[in-house]
């Protein structure tokens, strides 16, 4: 479902009716990473956008159209949480995130499954497809900026906000057989407020094309409400006690406790109010209904994201201690006292 790759695949642009806005290039504030003529430092401009969006309440819409179909994102990030919906044909993923948990609903045709992310959310989200859905407003415009060169056109107003317009000129990769034509609008804080671009590429005797539009609005004022479907998602509590995870099923239904990609899990489902204990093993995990006194492990990273379940899944993110962060292949004894 991730549509980010289209920018790298369809490497040319032909945007009809997307001429520059009237404006003086000396008008309007210039964000970090830009100058009077265009993008001065791509890395700085991308980072500025990502940090400014991540620290804001906002609404975001994204549409990517190609001969393969249409993919969309819609995100509302408010004070109480964030609701993000990603669609591609008959498939969709919706995510509701609060401070300490995230619920996921995935639909494909008439099939629906639910998931929960718990524990250390940064680790869980960073190691799952959920991250690409929640962070589309931060990541996708930066991807465009990284692959397409822009020249400054001038300052103007868009959706009640003072912005500067940048006209797409070419792809940054010289070996690409394609052209670009489109625009990007950037506010004073460096947020990419609007992108409207068509991409085309000549490849293997065919012309491939993709049309992209993004809109970042309601900055500082957006609201989001928890959807009703989160009641169908699993519910767990996670405690990291000296490197051993205590995962309790706090929902009303039993959970399959078989771990994806690992030869580990419980023989029987985890019943409501029941707790299982998870400790890192030698490139796997030890799982038990009884608390482990200690465990020796050889885990390649200080953080892990573990996923268990089938149509109702749980992804648990955790760190096993900051003291292991500088050692690429730690081997330690974790004791439960």
Reported as a single tens digit per residue, the pLDDT across 294-317 is: 555 555 566 778 899 988 999 998
> Taking 70 as the threshold, does the pLDDT of residue 334 lie above it?
no
Average pLDDT over residues 129-141: 91
pLDDT digits (tens, 9 = 90+) for 180-239: 899 999 999 999 999 999 988 887 778 889 999 999 999 999 999 999 999 999 999 998
pLDDT in tens, 249-300: 999 999 999 998 888 899 999 999 999 998 876 667 889 999 876 555 555 5
Query: Could you give phi then psi for residue 302, rounded to 5 degrees?
Result: -75, -10
> HSE (CB half, 13 Å, CA atoms) of 147?
23
Are residues 198 and 240 both part of a single domain? no
CA geometry: angle 161, 143, 69, nearest 5 deg: 95
105 lies in the same domain as 65? yes
Asked if 139 and 203 sit in the same domain, the reply is yes
* Dist CA 147 CA 139 (whole Å): 13
* Among 151, 182, 217, residue at a domain's last position: 217
Alpha-carbon distance of 42 to 147, in angstroms, equals 9
Q: Does residue 227 lie in a domain region?
A: no
**Residues 242, 173 within the same domain:** no
Residue 19: the pLDDT is 30
- If asked whether residues 265 and 162 sit together in one domain, one would say no
**Residue 129 DSSP SS3:** coil
208 with 283, same domain?
no
**Are residues 80 and 169 both part of a single domain?**
yes
Whether 59 and 151 map to the same domain: the answer is yes
- Both 10 and 143 in one domain: the answer is yes
Residue 274: predicted pLDDT: 97
Domain boundary among 182, 217, 252: 217
Are 332 and 134 in contact by the 8 Å Cβ rule? The answer is no
Q: Helix or strand or coil: residue 226?
A: coil
Point out the least confidently predicted range of 8-22, 36-50, 66-80: 8-22
- Please report whether residue 224 resides in a domain: no
- Residue 318 in domain: yes
Residue 168 within a domain? yes
148 has pLDDT over 60 = yes
The whole-number pLDDT of residue 331 equals: 33
| Single residue among 156, 183, 217 that ends a domain in this structure | 217
Rounded Cα distance between 249 and 238, Å, is 9
Do the domain assignments include residue 160?
yes
CB 282 within 8 A of CB 297: yes
Looking at the structure, tell me whether residues 119 and 83 fall in a common domain.
Answer: yes
How does pLDDT run across 67-77, given as a tens digit for each residue? 889 999 999 99
**Does residue 196 form part of some domain?**
yes
197 and 65 together in one domain = yes
User: Residue 8: its pLDDT value, please?
Assistant: 37
Residue 229: inside a domain: no
Residue 238 included in any domain = yes
Look at the chain and report how many structural domains it folds into.
Answer: 2
With beta carbons less than 8 A apart as the criterion, state whether 166 and 45 touch.
no
123/204 same-domain check: yes
CATH number at residue 84: 2.50.20
Contacts 24+ apart (CB under 8 A), 234-238: 234/114, 234/115, 234/116, 234/309, 234/312, 234/313, 234/314, 235/116, 236/116, 236/118, 236/314, 236/316, 237/118, 238/118, 238/119, 238/316, 238/318
Report the share of the chain in percent with pLDDT over 70: 82
Residue 155 has pLDDT above 80, yes or no: yes
Angle between helices 42-54 and 136-147 (to 10 degrees): 170
Q: Output the average pLDDT for the chain.
A: 83
Residues 287 and 277 sit within 8 Å (Cβ to Cβ): yes
Least confident residue range of 9-23, 48-62, 128-142, 154-168: 9-23
Query: How is the beta sheet containing 244-249 ordered, strand by strand?
Result: 236-241, 244-249, 275-280, 285-288
Give the residue numbers spanning the domain of 329.
234-335
């Amino acid at each position: 479902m991730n549509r980010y790759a289209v920018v790298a695949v369809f490497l040319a642009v032909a945007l009809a009716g997307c001429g520059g806005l009237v404006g003086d290039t000396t008008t309007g504030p210039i964000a970090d990473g830009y100058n009077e003529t265009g993008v001065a430092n791509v890395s700085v401009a991308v980072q500025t956008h990502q940090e400014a969006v991540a620290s804001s309440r906002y609404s975001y819409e994204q549409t990517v159209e190609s001969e393969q179909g249409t993919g969309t994102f819609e995100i509302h990030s408010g004070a109480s949480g964030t609701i993000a919906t990603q669609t591609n044909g008959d498939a969709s993923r919706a995510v509701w995130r609060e401070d300490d948990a995230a619920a996921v609903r995935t639909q494909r045709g008439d099939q629906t499954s639910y998931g929960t992310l718990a524990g250390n959310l940064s680790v869980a989200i960073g190691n799952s497809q959920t991250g690409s859905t929640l962070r589309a407003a931060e990541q996708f415009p930066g991807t465009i900026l990284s692959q397409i060169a822009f020249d400054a056109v001038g300052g103007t107003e868009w959706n009640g906000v003072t912005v500067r317009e940048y006209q797409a000129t070419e792809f940054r990769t010289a070996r690409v057989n394609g052209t670009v034509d489109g625009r990007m609008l950037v506010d004073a804080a460096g947020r990419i407020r609007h992108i409207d671009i068509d991409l085309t590429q000549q490849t293997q005797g065919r012309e491939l094309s993709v049309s992209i539009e993004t809109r970042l609005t309601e900055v500082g004022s957006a609201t989001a409400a928890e959807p009703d479907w989160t009641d169908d998602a699993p519910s767990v509590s996670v405690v990291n006690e000296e490197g051993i995870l205590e995962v309790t099923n706090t929902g009303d239904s039993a959970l399959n406790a078989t771990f994806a990609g690992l030869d580990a899990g419980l023989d029987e489902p985890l019943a409501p109010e029941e707790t299982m204990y998870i400790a890192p093993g030698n490139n796997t995990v030890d799982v038990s209904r009884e608390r482990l006194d200690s465990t020796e492990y050889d885990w390649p990273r200080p953080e892990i994201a573990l996923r268990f379940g089938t149509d109702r899944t749980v992804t648990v993110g955790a760190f096993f201690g900051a003291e292991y962060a500088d050692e690429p292949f730690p081997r330690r004894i974790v004791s439960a006292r």
